[in-house]
Each structure stands twice: as structure tokens, then as C-alpha cells.
Structure 1
């Protein structure tokens, strides 16, 4: 997950616009059927787990921006979003310790775990390479690569039924060069022109200026971008998904299997209760309504 700048829209979305948007959030959230009330029952914590955290009296959560999962208020410095909310609940309600959010960047997230700068890394994508050096919790949500486009673009088909509808010689797809999104679309798009740009802001500007017809990015980032531009932005989600990955908590490998099991049970409980889903929905809605008109 990476921090990206979301451009301000011309107007904030209406409640009617947000309804289909928030339905899309459900596809991101890994939850079981038969959800119970959002009032979450007490978690029966094992007092022998997370001994170093309990001894310190503080759970340190490594925080690099990843809306809508990790969101920082620029004025107050407070953190919200699904992973921030889970970290806070796990520390305060399960471990009975204070919770501290440690500001960091994605370049330093794994190194911070390895050097004991924080106890949990929030909203980190699970990859085979990363699994060699850190442990991962069960997935909180799942992320993939999808496409944003303008429904008023005359070059884009009115109904996109498959990737073949995007893979046309006259269509241009913007993507951040060298990312997993780039690697996901490159083998599939044989005819479309791929516009590789240095950063996410450049790809969004390319789409907004009609330099590109599609923007390929992570589904969470595209969800907020669509929320910021509800009057024209649409999302196409390939089926089966491209580049599907678990988004989870990362932990130092020194933590025991009992520690990991404690965290996993907590995540599963919060997911089953509907708390994760409602937390993501709230973060997306807040991002959409707080942008300048």
C-alpha cells in the first residue's frame, strides 16, 4: 500500500451517488455470512500472549497512509480507517494497553518491524517476498488491480464486459511504472497503449486531462478516486480479478504462533461482527464528503 494524493473534485457526492459506491466496498472486505450486531462481544484474550507489549504497556502501530484503511487527519494527527480502528481496539480492548501510532513511510515499514520500531505494521500487502522476513495476520481485506475511466469518454465502450473491451489499439491505459499494477496488466493488454508514468498523481492527471482513457491502480485507491469524482468516474473490475492480494497486519517473526493466533481470532471476530465493513465504509464516505467543492 502506498500513500497517494487524491485530487479535489468539483463537488461532493450525494447520498444517492454514495450508495453504489459503498456497495463496492463490500467486495473488498473479507467477511463471513450471518453477520451479528455491530456491538462486538468481548474478546477472551490469552494473558500469556504479546508479553513484550503488555510489559511495555503500549501497542505501537506502524502507520503509513493507505486510505481508506489508514487515514491521518492533517490537523489533529489522529488516525482513522479500518486498520487504525482495529489496532486501537486490539490494544485497548484485548491487550489492555495504550495504543501509539508511529508515523512512517512504506519504504521503512518492514525495516521498522525488524528493528522493533513498532509492533504491528498496518495495511500491508502480503507477498511471498515479504513472507520471508515478516509474519502476516489473516487478511482483513483483499485488494486487486482495477480500472477507472470516464463514462463520457466516447472512445470507451458503453458496456465493458471483459478486458477485451479495453484491449483496443486506440485506447490508452495509464499506470505507475514498475508497480504490481503495471506487472498485472502488461501481459494481458496486447493491443492497448500502456502509458507508464512515474507516480500515481501523474496517472490521475493523465486520466482527468483525457491523455489516457483508463487508469489502472489498486482497488482501494480507485475507490476513493471515484468517490472524489462521482460525476464522471466509473470503475471496471475484471473477473477474475487482477493481482488479488491479502491486506493484513505485519508482525516481527519473533512473535509466537500464540501471539499470531490471538490477533487472528480478534480480526475474525471483528470481521464477522461487521465492524471491518462499517469502518471501511465510513472512511470512504468521509473521504468523499470532506474534499473541497
Structure 2
């Protein structure tokens, strides 16, 4: 009789442990497959983390309205696919990943996939291509005989301005070992550094740099050889986003590429920057 009671106790204990493990696994599975878009629809608003970098994310200082390729994508996806309002949340490149982890926004706009970032967040498919290039003064004597070789620009005594925390910062730092890297908080600061000649080089995304070069005839564009950080740009998303939710966004981006919307938004961004420069 005593033996039977012991067996029953052990079976009960095993049942409790089994149930607990099942609940734990269920919770883990749920955490691994968060229904991001369902939560956004319940809240009624899609929050887009916005760090400025033309032509991808731009903000009018007079109206505080956002434009640019990824601003249009975020707005269009929220309003037409999720059927919710869209809210742009100001941030910096240093804070954009941490803000996504901290649930300050649902999507981080214009984010490059890197292995380090992939440890913390997920990524959509690329909406546009990315490459780092250099801007220099045409009359800078340091580059009189320079080619496109990286070694011609990676020398002691050369100052390179980058946006702190952006992919261009990490990519430039990995390649340029002798030059001095000036990490500045934003795009305006890096451009001012080049204009004032505190910086010899502005290292940033090629499309962003090209916009600035179009508006300033004293600028020369350099496409380094070998290419630096050639990759795609997409959206950063919560790391535990469900595969189904990720597929929704990826399919949406594919359609916007195929029907020419992204190319059209790129042209609009270039035109907006050119108009502002006049």
C-alpha cells in the first residue's frame, strides 16, 4: 500500500513537471513568433523609427513632415496594408536599434543588415541598394594625384567625417586604419565638417552623398575600390517577429519594387533635395 502511494506521488509530480515544461515551451514559442502586425492593428498606429539620411528618410524642419523613400514605404504600408495611422518617431543612428528593442517603435527605417545588428533585431528584404563612397573638396591638395584606391585616402593626417552609429561609421572604421575618424551626431554635422574643411573626407551612403554633390559643384565623388559596405537597405524589425508577419512586409516591398513605386519615390526625394538647395 505504501509503495502504491509513493508511485502515485511520483506520477503526480511528473505530471506537474510535464505541464510546467509544456507551458514554458508554449510561452517560448509565442515569444519567438510575435504577431507584430496584429498588435499594431490593435493599437491603431504603426510607429516608424526615423533617423534622418536623405534620400531615404528626410524631415522638413519647417513643417516637421517626413519624406524620402522609406518614409513613403512606411506610410504606404501602414495606411494601405495594415489600415492604421502612421507615426514617425525621431531618433538617431546610435539609438535606432536600441529603440526597436525597447518597443519605442515597430519598424526601424532604412536599416542595413549587419551580423551585429542581426543578433538584436530582424530585417526585411532590401528595398534599395547601399554602398559607401567619399566626398572631398576638388581643390584639396592631399588628393591631387589620388585614384579610387582606398589606400590613397587612408593616410595619417587625413580626417574622415562619419555619422556616428550609422553603417558608414563601422564600414569606414573597418577599412580606414591610418586616417583619423571624426564621429559626428548627424548628416548636417558631417557636411558642415567637410564644408569648413575640418574634415578632408565625408564618408557616407553613396545616394546621400550624391545628392549633396549635385548641389555643390566644389565636391568630388569618389567610389572606393574595392567597394565599401555594398549591400541592401531594408527595415529593422523586432527579432521575434513571426515568419508570417515578415513575409507580409517582404511581399509588400517586392510589389513596390516591381511596380516602380520605389524608383518613383527615389526620384521625388532627389527632386526635393535639389529644390531645397536652390
8 Å Cα contact 1:64-1:109 kept in structure 2: yes
Among 205, 212, 221, the alignment partner of 1:235 is 221
Long gaps (5+) in structure 2: 1-34
Matches within 5 A, 1:28-39: none
Among 196, 214, 219, the alignment partner of 2:181 is 196
8 Å Cα contact 1:148-1:234 kept in structure 2: yes
User: Partners in 1 of 2:163 and 2:120 — Cα distance?
Assistant: 25
SS of 1:148 mapped into structure 2: strand
Pick closer, same or farther for the CA change 1:134–1:164 going to 2, 3 Å: closer
CA deviation after TM superposition for structure 1 residue 205, in Å: 4.6
Among 126, 134, 151, the alignment partner of 1:139 is 126
Higher helix share: 2
TM-score, normalised to structure 2, is 0.73
8 Å Cα contact 2:40-2:46 kept in structure 1: yes
CA deviation after TM superposition for structure 1 residue 78, in Å: 1.3
Which of these two proteins has the greater Rg computed from alpha carbons? Answer: 2
CA deviation after TM superposition for structure 1 residue 168, in Å: 7.1
Relative contact order (C-alpha < 8 Å, sep 6+): which is higher?
1
Q: How many residues align?
A: 241
Greater shift, 104-113 or 138-147, is seen at: 104-113
Q: Which residue is 1:31 aligned to?
A: none
Among 115, 119, 129, the alignment partner of 2:106 is 119
User: Partners in 2 of 1:168 and 1:114 — Cα distance?
Assistant: 38
Give the CA RMSD over aligned residues. Answer: 3.1
Q: Which residue is 2:66 aligned to?
A: 79
Long gaps (5+) in structure 1: 1-47
Pick closer, same or farther for the CA change 1:88–1:132 going to 2, 3 Å: same
Pick closer, same or farther for the CA change 1:262–1:242 going to 2, 3 Å: same
User: Partners in 2 of 1:174 and 1:106 — Cα distance?
Assistant: 18
Q: Which residue is 1:97 aligned to?
A: 84
SS of 2:246 mapped into structure 1: helix
Among 39, 48, 54, the alignment partner of 1:52 is 39
Matches within 5 A, 1:106-255: 106-153=93-140, 155-157=142-144, 160-163=147-150, 165-166=152-153, 172-176=158-162, 181=168, 184-185=171-172, 194-199=179-184, 204-205=191-192, 207-210=194-197, 213-229=200-216, 231-255=217-241
TM-score, normalised to structure 1, is 0.69
1:280 aligns with 2:227: no
